[in-house]
Amino acid sequence: MNKTELKNSIYAGLAFSVGFGIFQLIAYNLERALIVGPISGVIFGVVIYFFTTSKTVKSQTQVENPDGTSILHSGGANHFKKGEGVGGKLYLMSDKIQFQSHSFNIQNHGLIIEMKDIKEVVFFNSLGIVPNGLKIITKDGNTEKFVVNGRKTWKSEIEKLML
């Protein structure tokens, strides 16, 4: 059992429970909100957990590594592309950062950023308040934004390879 995926599923379920509970309160009444909100949150959290740990998602987000470079760090991530938070997995190798989406997105894609092309790595907050964003700025001025778990670790590991 992956503790990070379990923790994130619980947080997602709680957030959904609160949001859907508020909707039920506004649309119907307090009694319904207090029943439907928590039940829907538990169901949502369970579905998210089984989705993120599924063999299908794991196989779709694997990267080909023909040169045999070892993966130094990896984890689930969302890559922002044209307004969509594309779900997938982010990999850090000694010479590049690679993102691979799963097929449950509208904009399926892979992305490779060479370490030699990175100018700066900075934090941002998702929705302006959630401290889980990592922004990679390249030397040619492009910016790639990711939502990751453990953004401090990601930033530290990337910056070690930039030297």
Q: Looking at the structure, do residues 38 and 69 belong to the same domain, yes or no?
A: no
What range does the domain containing 138 cover? 64-162
Q: Looking at the structure, do residues 138 and 88 belong to the same domain, yes or no?
A: yes
Q: Are 48 and 9 in contact (CB under 8 A)?
A: yes
Q: How many domains does the chain have?
A: 2
Q: Looking at the structure, do residues 87 and 154 belong to the same domain, yes or no?
A: yes
CA separation for the pair 58, 123 (Å, rounded): 26
pLDDT of residue 38: 96
Q: Looking at the structure, do residues 90 and 155 belong to the same domain, yes or no?
A: yes
58 within a domain of the structure (yes/no): no
* Range 105-118 average pLDDT: 95
* Number of Cα atoms under 13 Å in the Cβ half of residue 109: 12
Beta pairing partners, 124: 133
pLDDT of residue 147: 96
First to last CA, the chain: 35
**Three-state SS for 51?**
helix
pLDDT of residue 2: 74
Q: Looking at the structure, do residues 150 and 70 belong to the same domain, yes or no?
A: yes
pLDDT confidence tier of residue 78, bands split at 50, 70 and 90: very high
Sort 74 into a burial class: Cβ within 10 Å, 0-12 / 13-18 / 19+: middle
59 within a domain of the structure (yes/no): no
pLDDT of residue 66: 62
Q: Looking at the structure, do residues 40 and 73 belong to the same domain, yes or no?
A: no
Q: Looking at the structure, do residues 49 and 92 belong to the same domain, yes or no?
A: no
Residue 120 predicted with pLDDT over 80: yes
Q: Looking at the structure, do residues 94 and 113 belong to the same domain, yes or no?
A: yes
Distant-in-sequence, close-in-space partners of 42: CB < 8 Å, separation ≥ 6: 13, 17
Q: Looking at the structure, do residues 109 and 90 belong to the same domain, yes or no?
A: yes
Q: How many other β-carbons are positioned within 10 Å of the β-carbon of residue 158?
A: 20
CA separation for the pair 145, 157 (Å, rounded): 17
Q: Looking at the structure, do residues 46 and 86 belong to the same domain, yes or no?
A: no
Residue 1 predicted with pLDDT over 70: no
- pLDDT tens digits for range 91-104: 999 999 999 999 99
Sort 96 into a burial class: Cβ within 10 Å, 0-12 / 13-18 / 19+: buried
pLDDT of residue 32: 95
pLDDT confidence tier of residue 79, bands split at 50, 70 and 90: very high
- pLDDT tens digits for range 17-57: 999 999 999 999 999 999 999 999 999 999 999 998 999 99
* Range 125-150 average pLDDT: 95
Q: Looking at the structure, do residues 132 and 93 belong to the same domain, yes or no?
A: yes
Residue 127 predicted with pLDDT over 90: no
Residue 141 predicted with pLDDT over 90: yes
